[in-house]
Structure 1
């Protein structure tokens, strides 16, 4: 019996040691992505990345709870709070969430021990463990493979383009210019020029080499299925569609826009000098355009089920099923964070 007891004790001890070792391993190892992995849609990132659908789950900044990070099903059921962090520019891959902490919420809610409130973070989906990828003032983040491209602010270069590995080990400046990092397609960064022109350029993210793509005078390019959507600065900021090289250029929207997004066969935009101003939906097949909500809105984000947009002044968020003309209030609950 003593021998059996010793064997049992040994097996239990080995199991505990193995469990502790595995726990330490999964909390220190980094799970890397396949080449070409992106963390959110380009259009959502232009809308401050407040919603991100990843592996059938929607992660979002709760507009009723100081933009703290929550998750839910695409049909808006099973809402849960994930962390105390207020967030924007949410990205997701199979194992992690990436986001910029938003330090603009009510300071009384931040907590006196909360530091790095504007930093770039990585959170484990499995256990909520957070690491800081860059403790500077960061925003406009976009995941590309095993790196995150983002705006980095410091006193020397002001706002410039940076890249950091998802393990946080390699951080480098890609450009001293404030090149927008949000339009990543097939492993390349596409952007509107910010110094000599507003033409379309591309950057090889690995070599930092830039190339001229199109002479269109544009802003906020979105590339989907080899189609280029953009705000045409030569036509009152109307949204146009063309090939990447500029061929087949066609005006899509009736009015100019301050922000837009693409959801499958539909384009949603906030009009400029509309009749009246508001959120419009354009059917990309028929060209039919309909006003969904009159007013001034921003932060247009889409998921597989809904399009979301916020009142410009109050921040009140609304939603509409993709393809529908129905609009309602998006009113998620405020939930306590478990200790």
Structure 2
């Protein structure tokens, strides 16, 4: 009987250990995303990737804590710090976040050895900030989660390259020797401005070996695809905001002022002008109508969530402003550390 009992115990222990191993690998496995999935909106990333909404939460760069990553609910409750170093170009999918992080600026609460070790590169972590992992160590710039790959710019003295790496830290490759901005990702395609030879509008098909096709001629900056149109700043026409209908290449002018930056959602375009008679943050509908100033001054880093628009003032690296996306309240200071 004792022998049978020992055999049963051994079998149970083996099963338990096996189950534990399977569970460990399961909870640490990076799940596959839809290949057309975008980790953040194009407009948010063009504005530095300061804010990213994911599954009812907002992950954001907290300027009040040297740009470290924080999380909160979409209605700005339950605010928590996630990193002790500053971040840019935040994106996410499922239980994971992706961002550029470096130790140039540290959290106000950081001390000890963490202040001397230098970290920088493309990082991944859980949405609670744990399981931090460097996917690529190097000086990089704009990045976007495109399906199961992070497309990112590698900085070099004479420009740079576009690279990609899978979210499980495999399949690192150089996509282009051109310093292409990958932020304009939509439905499996990256819309971007030419860098080396011209500034035309191009499209990179991430589902077809990253094949590049020219879409239109011009000096087309910060292209955002939305509902059959490309919204962009026209550098030939003093950076007026325009939109191009892709099916016909028909162009509509949306502003008569030089635009510094812009962002959009399904209903509105928020944009900033500094060379107008009265510099201000503006909001208008997608066809350029109903244009009204929101707040006088020069503003940048316009970020949108489902409930709020966030932005910062020129030459002010700390303060963040916010306003309900529907304009139901006037703009005010947003301070997540109070």
Scaled by the length of structure 2, what TM-score is found? Answer: 0.89
Q: Please, which of 320, 324, 336 is the counterpart of residue 323 of structure 2?
A: 320
How many residues align? The count is: 333
Q: Residue 35 of structure 1 corresponds to which residue in structure 2? A: 35
Q: Residue 337 of structure 1 corresponds to which residue in structure 2? A: none
Residues 331 and 286 of structure 1: is their aligned pair in 2 closer, same or farther, counting only changes over 3 Å? same
2: CA distance between counterparts of 1:48 and 1:14? Answer: 50
Give the drift of 1:254: 3.4
Give the drift of 1:17: 2.7
What is the DSSP-based 3-state SS (H/G/I as helix, E as strand, rest coil) of the residue aligned with 2:105?
Answer: coil
Give the drift of 1:126: 6.3
Scaled by the length of structure 1, what TM-score is found? Answer: 0.88
Q: Residue 191 of structure 1 corresponds to which residue in structure 2? A: 192
State how 1:1-339 maps to structure 2 within 5 Å. Answer: 13=13, 17-18=17-18, 20-22=20-22, 24-26=24-26, 28-105=28-105, 109=110, 112-113=113-114, 115=117, 117-125=119-127, 128-154=130-156, 158-205=159-206, 206-244=208-246, 247-284=249-286, 287-315=289-317, 316-324=319-327, 326-333=330-337
Residues 298 and 111 of structure 1: is their aligned pair in 2 closer, same or farther, counting only changes over 3 Å? farther
2: CA distance between counterparts of 1:264 and 1:249? Answer: 19
Confirm or deny: 8 A CA contact 1:214 1:245 kept in the other structure. Answer: no
Confirm or deny: 8 A CA contact 2:228 2:247 kept in the other structure. Answer: no
Q: Aligned-residue CA RMSD in angstroms?
A: 2.8
Which runs of no fewer than 5 residues in structure 2 stay unpaired?
Answer: none
What is the DSSP-based 3-state SS (H/G/I as helix, E as strand, rest coil) of the residue aligned with 1:230?
Answer: strand
Which runs of no fewer than 5 residues in structure 1 stay unpaired?
Answer: 335-339
2: CA distance between counterparts of 1:24 and 1:116? Answer: 30
2: CA distance between counterparts of 1:98 and 1:256? Answer: 33
2: CA distance between counterparts of 1:79 and 1:106? Answer: 18
Confirm or deny: 8 A CA contact 2:84 2:106 kept in the other structure. Answer: no
Give the drift of 1:31: 1.3
Q: Deviations over 1:215-271 (max 9, x none)?
A: 232111011122210001122111101212563311112311111000221111110
Q: Deviations over 1:183-210 (max 9, x none)?
A: 0122111111112221101123352332
Give the drift of 1:112: 3.3
